[in-house]
């Protein structure tokens, strides 16, 4: 697992996109979108 992370970091620094880095970016984007949605939802609920 640690070897994979180091490989992904090297790929990112070399701007080489692999399936692993692509998947990682998709997961991170999903998490960020989820956080934004949660903030919007909570602000809507508590504004009333």
pLDDT at residue 6 above 90? Answer: no
Q: Which residue has the tokens 């070399």?
A: 14
Domain map (residue ranges) of the chain: 2-46
> Nearest CA to 22 among 8, 37, 39, 40?
8
> What's the rounded Cα separation, in Å, for the pair 24 and 31?
11
CA distances from 8 to 24, 25, 47 (A): 9, 11, 42
9-48 per-position pLDDT tens digit: 777 777 666 777 788 888 889 999 999 999 999 998 888 6
pLDDT at residue 1 above 70? Answer: no
């Amino acid at each position: 697992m640690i070897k994979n992370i180091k490989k992904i970091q090297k790929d990112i620094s070399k701007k080489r996109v692999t399936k692993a880095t692509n998947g990682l970016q998709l997961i991170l984007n999903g998490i960020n979108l989820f956080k934004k949605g949660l903030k919007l939802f909570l602000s809507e609920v508590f504004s009333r």
